[in-house]
């Protein structure tokens, strides 16, 4: 099957399913309606609770849930073949991921914008709520530390992206001022902002910035410190100052990138240069874990990701101005991410075959290019390797539009770093909410303030990042756990959504109940296999943390099931 056919069929499928399945869920299952008081209006404070146009909040929500997730997952899972990766992304995003994201958003909106961990006590019990907080805190702890490193790695790989990424921050600050203080047109000025950003991309090609080691701290460590300091500042500002305008710019950037990739696929395919060079199915690649259950753990963003529920019930639920907007924001964003993940699969299964430069400087094409990069699980599993596969494959396709390959590489590098920066900022802000909610429930109000809670969020991430040395790579110690933690959270959130829908009567709960069973089976299976693997390797740290997550997953699942069964008579 050609890459062009895959892209066209998948995109038509996403559009159809949004209008059929998505609207069915919104109207018949959650019964969205205009008029009910929403948190953004009821609790408006100009800081976190701000009623926002759905186009703007869509930009924030999408760029926050995406980050590098729909890039990294497919770029490594392609080692099992493009067919299983594509099937999981397409059907997972429609029937699991979008239901998960949308459900978490609407339930939070109907509970004063509280986090999914906080409203667990209402639908299950207080004990489960505390355990849920532990899972969420652990997930965000790893996310904040690792995304600081991700951006540092991108800056090291593509130094021409450094200037545009930082310039975007200042452009966004002015855009926010122009829109909210001077009353300028959002659309017109955001377009101007995007044009300015791409001017800086052109400048960045000629002015690459390479961070030197400072005071014995390697470049990655220096960038990690700078980025976490930025995250502290950005996440304590009102959402209208930086978060919304920057993410609106990034949403425009996404449309430009996707348009370039789509045009690139068409031109490359019609030019006869684009062919799928990855195997359709490869069940036992060298040194890789089994495809079942790890395909469903490796590809999270793009299909279903627990982190999305934290964005839905963290920042987005506090900004959506009407219930009816939540379908576009929650369900629509997930399908857009599925579309992006589809383009990533095309880039790493076909685009990479248009030209791949090895470490020795040799240029390979076709199957040889793919086979060299994906020679084994170890060869393809590194963070830099996954990013490079996507960036280089995408740049090859974009170059067919006439843009120089060097410029296309910078554009893609800026895209990856910008989205990672959005996730870093949003994750820090959400961790602040989690810390405040947790200590508030423990009556430790002196730890719930905006700056104190944010400091705890950043300081703990900084401690993790530098736990193994000055390179800021400490989070990599826990990174092998992240996929299972993230997908465990997704399954647990689906359980909460199922219990919520059970209170509404009938069989509505099946919409989330069936995905919940699937996800919990896959994640608990993966956790058990990981426990055995870490034990064999005598990795005590991972064994202890993984064992804790496994116990929490089973405990919360049992508690949720007991609650569900006790509600039988209420239906």
Predicted confidence (pLDDT) per residue in 348-372, tens digit: 999 988 988 777 778 888 898 888 8
Which band of pLDDT confidence, cut at 50, 70 and 90, is reported for residue 378?
low
% of the chain at pLDDT higher than 70: 98
- Distance CA(232)–CA(432), nearest Å, equals 10
**Average confidence score pLDDT of the chain:** 91
Find all residues with CB under 8 Å of 50, minimum gap 6, and list them.
Answer: 40, 44, 238, 239, 240, 244, 318, 319
Of 283, 190, 335, 244, residue with least CA distance to 53: 244
Q: What does the alpha-carbon distance between residue 528 and residue 147 come to, in Å, rounded to a whole number?
A: 27
What per-residue confidence (pLDDT) applies to 220? Answer: 92
Distances (CA, A) of 142 to 298, 386, 548: 16, 19, 15
pLDDT of residue 528: 95
Closest to 317 (Cα-Cα) out of 307, 306, 329: 329
Q: What distance in Å separates the CA atoms of residue 320 and residue 167, rounded to the nearest whole number?
A: 28
Rounded CA-CA distance 256/452 in Å is 39
Q: What pLDDT is stored for residue 273 in this prediction? A: 81
Question: Which pTM does this prediction carry?
Answer: 0.92
Antiparallel, parallel or unpaired: β 363-364 and 356-357: antiparallel
Instruction: Give the tens place of pLDDT for each residue, 470-527.
Output: 999 898 888 888 888 999 999 999 999 999 999 888 899 999 999 999 999 999 999 9
More confident residue, 389 or 203: 203
Q: Which residues pair with 357 in a beta bridge?
A: 363
If one counts every other C-beta atom within 10 angstroms of the C-beta of residue 272, the result is 7
Residue 510 CB neighbours (<10 A): 12
Q: How far apart are CA 436 and CA 455, in angstroms?
A: 11
Which of 130-139, 230-239, 305-314, 521-530 shows the lowest per-residue confidence on average (mean pLDDT)? 130-139
Between CA 500 and CA 123 the distance in angstroms is 6
Residue-wise pLDDT tens digits, 132-174: 888 899 999 999 998 888 898 889 888 999 999 999 999 999 9
Instruction: Specify the pLDDT at position 379.
Output: 60
Closest CA to 301 of 329, 258, 339: 339
Inter-residue contact 498 to 564 (CB < 8 Å): yes
- CA separation for the pair 42, 151 (Å, rounded): 37
pLDDT of residue 96 exceeding 70: yes
In this prediction, residue 228 carries a pLDDT of 95
- The pLDDT, as a whole number, for residue 571 is 41
Neighbouring-strand partners of residue 320: 52
């Amino acid at each position: 099957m050609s890459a062009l056919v895959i892209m066209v069929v998948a995109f038509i499928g996403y559009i159809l399913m949004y209008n059929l399945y998505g609207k069915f869920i919104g109207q018949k299952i959650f019964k969205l309606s205009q008029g009910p008081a929403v948190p953004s209006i009821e609790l408006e404070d100009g800081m976190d609770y701000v009623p926002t146009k759905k186009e703007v909040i869509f930009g924030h929500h999408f760029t926050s849930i995406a980050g590098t997730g729909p890039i990294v997952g497919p770029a490594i899972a392609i080692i099992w073949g493009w067919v299983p990766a594509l099937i999981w992304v397409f059907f997972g995003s429609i029937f699991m991921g979008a239901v998960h994201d949308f459900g978490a958003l609407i339930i939070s909106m109907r509970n004063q914008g509280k986090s999914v961990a906080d409203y667990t006590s209402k639908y299950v019990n207080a004990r489960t709520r505390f355990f849920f907080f532990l899972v969420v805190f652990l997930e965000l702890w790893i996310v904040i530390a690792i995304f600081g490193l991700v951006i540092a790695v991108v800056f090291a790989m593509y130094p021409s992206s450094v200037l545009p990424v930082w310039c975007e921050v200042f452009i966004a600050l002015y855009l926010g001022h122009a829109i909210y203080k001077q009353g300028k047109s959002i659309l017109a000025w955001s377009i101007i902002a995007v044009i300015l950003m791409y001017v800086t991309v052109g400048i960045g090609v000629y002015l690459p910035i390479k961070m030197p080691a400072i005071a014995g701290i390697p470049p990655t460590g220096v960038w990690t410190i700078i980025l976490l300091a930025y995250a502290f500042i950005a996440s304590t500002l009102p959402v209208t100052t930086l978060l919304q305008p920057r993410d609106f710019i990034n949403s425009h950037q996404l449309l430009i990138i996707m348009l370039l990739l789509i045009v690139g696929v068409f031109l490359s395919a019609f030019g006869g240069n684009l062919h799928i060079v990855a195997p359709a199915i490869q069940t036992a690649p060298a040194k890789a874990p089994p495809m079942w259950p790890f395909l469903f753990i490796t590809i999270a963003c793009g299909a279903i990701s627990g982190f999305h529920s934290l964005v839905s019930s963290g920042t987005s639920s506090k900004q959506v101005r009407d219930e009816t907007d939540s379908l576009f924001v929650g369900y629509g964003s997930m399908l857009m991410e599925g579309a992006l993940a589809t383009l990533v699969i095309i880039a790493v299964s076909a685009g990479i075959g248009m030209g791949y430069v090895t470490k020795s400087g040799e240029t390979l094409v076709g199957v040889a290019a793919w086979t060299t990069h994906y020679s084994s699980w170890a060869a393809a599993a590194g963070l830099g390797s996954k990013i490079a596969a996507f960036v280089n494959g995408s740049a090859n396709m974009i170059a067919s539009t006439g843009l120089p390959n060097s410029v296309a590489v910078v554009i893609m590098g800026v895209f990856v770093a910008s989205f990672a920066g959005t996730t870093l900022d949003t994750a820090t802000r959400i961790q602040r909410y989690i810390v405040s909610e947790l200590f508030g429930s423990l009556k430790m109000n002196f730890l719930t303030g905006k700056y104190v809670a944010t400091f705890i969020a950043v300081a703990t991430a900084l401690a993790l990042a530098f736990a193994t040395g000055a390179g800021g790579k400490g989070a990599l110690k826990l990174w092998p756990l992240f996929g299972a933690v993230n997908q465990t959270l997704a399954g647990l959130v689906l359980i909460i959504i199922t219990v919520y829908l059970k209170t509404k009567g009938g069989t509505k709960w099946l919409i989330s109940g069936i995905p919940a069973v699937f996800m919990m089976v896959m994640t608990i299976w993966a956790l058990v296999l990981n426990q055995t693997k870490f034990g064999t390797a005598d990795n005590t740290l991972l064994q202890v943390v993984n064992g804790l997550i496994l116990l929490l997953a089973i405990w919360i699942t049992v508690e949720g099931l007991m609650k569900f069964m006790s509600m039988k008579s209420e239906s």
